[in-house]
Structure 1
Amino acid sequence: MIGLQLVTSFISVAERLAVQRDTTQRQLNAERKKRPDGPRVESLNSRLSTTHEQKLVIDEMMRKIFTGLFVHRYRDVDPNIRMSCIRSLGVWILSYPTLFLQDLYLKYLGWTLNDKSAGVRKAAVLALQNIYEVEDNVPTLSLFTERFSNRMIELADDVDVSVAVCAIGLVKQLLRHQLIPDDDLGSLYDLLIDDPPEIRRAIGELVYDHLIEQKFNSSQSGSKGNESEVHLGRMLQILREFSTDPILSAYVIDDVWEYMKAMKDWKCIISMLLDENPLIELTDEDATNLARLLFASVKKAVGERIVPASDNRKQYFNKAQREMFENNRRDLTVAMMKNYPLLLRKFMVDKVKISSLVEIIVYMNLELYSLKRQEQNFRNTLLLIKDAFFKHGEKDALRSCVKAITFCSTESRGELQDFSRNKLKELEDELLDKLKSATKEVIDGEDEYSLLVNLKRLFELQLSRPASIEEIYGDCITILRSFRNLDDEVS
């Protein structure tokens, strides 16, 4: 609209006049010190007065255009006109705050946060983002913020995804300037597990910026080397809210991961799990969440998804991304080599932690064990994975163990591959021996638990490789015929 553009042009003129007025005032002050009553002083006074009057005229013309045009058109039936009005007002406030940065004009941005058009709401939010971005504007915005902050927070859950993402960015600015209290944000954190990934990522950035990074900066008391541990400690505080649901925990980790470098600090995470000179004392719940975080972060670092994709399309990566994933795989392997056996020993009997830790080897570069002369640590790791398989009977732990040892038998090379294949064969033979013994015990009238748990192990093993079960087939048939209620328990 021509009227809107006219105000924008007037602002350029007013800014030039303001610069000219300030320059003239400085010259006048300097001249008065030399000759208080000279002709030069009179000339500068006249110029200053003229410039000031011209600026007042321009300001008054802008006020009249605003009341005569904007006030009517910002409510126009055409959303495109409303959008143009709001965009222009945002530019005016940003360009000429001496006139427009006041509640008389700001309130129109606040009112249009409720506009029925998503485009108009988004224009208002973007305009406010630009205004709050200028530090000098913030003190003047306190009353406006108090009046409209609730609506800004509500827009984070707007029906239009693009509006919601922009609103989350605006709320993040309010938090940075400490204009809203934490108590107002409870509903926002629920969006960490929302469906649209754009909203989850925006909330993830807000969570990192406000709850992890900023609070660290505001209370930093240790050395720079403690930063990762402090950040991870704050992340664990958040994950406590989702401890009972590993799927929700994965969503939270996924949302924050790209902003939080500490999640890729493998040495720090491993050290925390092993309790090496802890800055933060971990509870058992924290250790479980940290093991889950390590496993999820490892997968993300090598390009794997940790939450379902909304479109289920296959991921494609460019050369630079593939090189980055390979570098991450190498860094992870170097950090894990000597510590992997220690982690597995420490958490061997914990079915939740062991299932996360065992599977990490699938995302490591096994060739580095030979290059770094760490073959013995590889062998120790594999032996511990085999032990874990026979210590647990739950699906997740068993499936992770089978996946890990199968990966080692196919992806390692040379002597390490021979060792892996031998251990996989030993695992299969030992399992069949346990099944034979368990079937005989049941036939002899003893307890069925050993049979049931070893059948579960066999089931998980056979999902990845065929196992020779002919030797126990006859005994299993005998049991099923003799104990008709057993088939329900097995299934």
Structure 2
Amino acid sequence: MDTIISLLTGLADSMVRAFRHTSTLAAMKLLTAVVSVHLNLDVNKHNAQRLYEVEKKRLSGKRTSYRLDQLERKRKEVREVSYIDVIPEIRATCMEEIGSWIKAYPDAFLNDSYLKYVGWMLYDKQAEVRLKCLLGLQGIYSRKELVSRMDLFTNRFKDRIVSMPLDKDHEVAVQAMKLLMLMSQNCGDVLSAEDCEMLYQFVYTTHRPLAVAAGEFLYKRYLCLPTSCIVSFVLELSWIYLRGILSINFSDESVPTERQMKRNFCFDESAVTSARLSCLCWS
């Protein structure tokens, strides 16, 4: 194992693009398998602690820790060389595998030593790399038991994630909105009122998948509120959209004011049901 990993690590630093890509892919997949073995060993070791004598447990723990330290050093060598590689496919592979390690074995990998690479690559120039980061983060933020350990990462990279629905790549924008929806659901008040106002306006974007994702974000955000609050919000959102349309077709003097427009609207709050609100957000 040591010989194979040393060979792949050396090739990952090769001047030949094909060698770097193939060796990095092989090394990351191999290390992902090692993570699975590591997890099984850790579980077995935990169970064995209940069965073996104190002295045997202590000696076995030292030997296991030595082997795990060796594997960690090898993993670090591959990770640090490859995540900054000039080939976007290699960087994307690294982000995908790091995400799978964190989800599979959070006790060992859900820490700043690994999360920082994911956060840095959110700024990558290639959409493929940014997309892999977002997909990996979705797997983490969807699990409530892991969210409490993401406070440092969330505070550091929240502003970047909030800006990513504006990404020039459509798929990156959609996945960023889905990640923000998970953060809104599982991270309390991490998104400010200003953040949410900006995200709500994506329901009017011409890119349909992003508009649908924004509508789902809006719907889940307001589903638990009283009907009066929802009606007020829908009216405000409709006014923003209508004001923009009228400004295109008429001069500023002929556009009615917000007060004049709202005077002509009358809502029966009792008639607004959850099903109708769902239709509003998905239409």
- TM-score (norm. length: structure 1): 0.44
Return the match for 2:195 from 174, 184, 187: 184
**Structure 2 spans left out of the alignment, 5+ residues:** 1-24, 246-261
Return the match for 1:239 from 228, 235, 248: 235
Higher Rg of the two aligned structures: 1
Which amino acid is 2:196 matched to?
L
Contact 1:128 1:170 in 2 (8 A): yes
Distance, in Å, in 2 between the alignment partners of 1:245 and 1:171 is 23
Return the match for 1:123 from 117, 128, 132: 132
Cα 1:245–1:110 shift into 2, 3 Å: closer
Distance, in Å, in 2 between the alignment partners of 1:245 and 1:133 is 32
Distance, in Å, in 2 between the alignment partners of 1:196 and 1:155 is 15
Alignment of 1:23 with 2:34, yes or no, is no
Name segments (4+ residues, structure 1) moved above 6 Å. Answer: none
Q: Secondary structure at the match of 1:14?
A: helix
Cα 1:244–1:117 shift into 2, 3 Å: closer
Alignment of 1:200 with 2:211, yes or no, is yes
**Structure 1 spans left out of the alignment, 5+ residues:** 29-40, 217-229, 250-282, 307-491
Distance, in Å, in 1 between the alignment partners of 2:268 and 2:86 is 53
Return the match for 1:6 from 14, 20, 30: 30
Q: Secondary structure at the match of 1:287?
A: coil
Distance, in Å, in 2 between the alignment partners of 1:61 and 1:138 is 29
1:202 CA drift (Å): 0.5
Which amino acid is 1:9 matched to?
A
Q: Deviations over 1:331-370 (max 9, x none)?
A: xxxxxxxxxxxxxxxxxxxxxxxxxxxxxxxxxxxxxxxx
Contact 1:109 1:124 in 2 (8 A): yes
Distance, in Å, in 1 between the alignment partners of 2:169 and 2:231 is 29
Which amino acid is 2:46 matched to?
D
User: Identity over the aligned pairs, expressed in percent?
Assistant: 26
Corresponding position of 1:77: 86
Contact 1:3 1:65 in 2 (8 A): no
Distance, in Å, in 2 between the alignment partners of 1:175 and 1:245 is 24
Corresponding position of 1:222: none
Which amino acid is 1:72 matched to?
V
Q: Deviations over 1:180-202 (max 9, x none)?
A: 33332332222121110111111
Cα 1:56–1:248 shift into 2, 3 Å: farther
Cα 1:246–1:105 shift into 2, 3 Å: same
1:161 CA drift (Å): 0.8
Distance, in Å, in 2 between the alignment partners of 1:20 and 1:86 is 29
Alignment of 1:153-164 (within 5 A): 153-164=162-173
Q: How many residues align?
A: 234
Alignment of 1:286-297 (within 5 A): 286-287=265-266
Distance, in Å, in 1 between the alignment partners of 2:147 and 2:175 is 19
Distance, in Å, in 1 between the alignment partners of 2:155 and 2:38 is 31
1:94 CA drift (Å): 1.0
Which amino acid is 2:266 matched to?
A
Contact 1:168 1:203 in 2 (8 A): yes
1:97 CA drift (Å): 1.4
Contact 1:18 1:55 in 2 (8 A): no
Corresponding position of 1:409: none
Q: Deviations over 1:176-234 (max 9, x none)?
A: 12233333233222212111011111100001111x21x43xxxxxxxxxxxxx44750
1:242 CA drift (Å): 2.6
* Aligned-CA RMSD value: 2.9
Contact 1:125 1:167 in 2 (8 A): yes
1:159 CA drift (Å): 0.6
Distance, in Å, in 1 between the alignment partners of 2:209 and 2:111 is 33
Q: Secondary structure at the match of 1:170?
A: helix
Contact 1:236 1:289 in 2 (8 A): no
Corresponding position of 2:179: 170
Distance, in Å, in 1 between the alignment partners of 2:264 and 2:69 is 65
Cα 1:235–1:243 shift into 2, 3 Å: same
Contact 1:20 1:51 in 2 (8 A): no
Cα 1:57–1:95 shift into 2, 3 Å: farther
1:286 CA drift (Å): 4.8
Cα 1:155–1:111 shift into 2, 3 Å: same
Q: Deviations over 1:15-47 (max 9, x none)?
A: 12211211122224xxxxxxxxxxxx3xx641x
Corresponding position of 1:102: 111
1:171 CA drift (Å): 0.8
1:288 CA drift (Å): 6.0
Contact 1:73 1:85 in 2 (8 A): yes
1:135 CA drift (Å): 1.6
Contact 1:169 1:202 in 2 (8 A): yes
Q: Secondary structure at the match of 2:50?
A: helix
Which amino acid is 2:97 matched to?
S
Alignment of 1:247-396 (within 5 A): 284=263, 286-287=265-266
Q: Which has the higher contact order (CA 8 A, sep 6+)?
A: 2
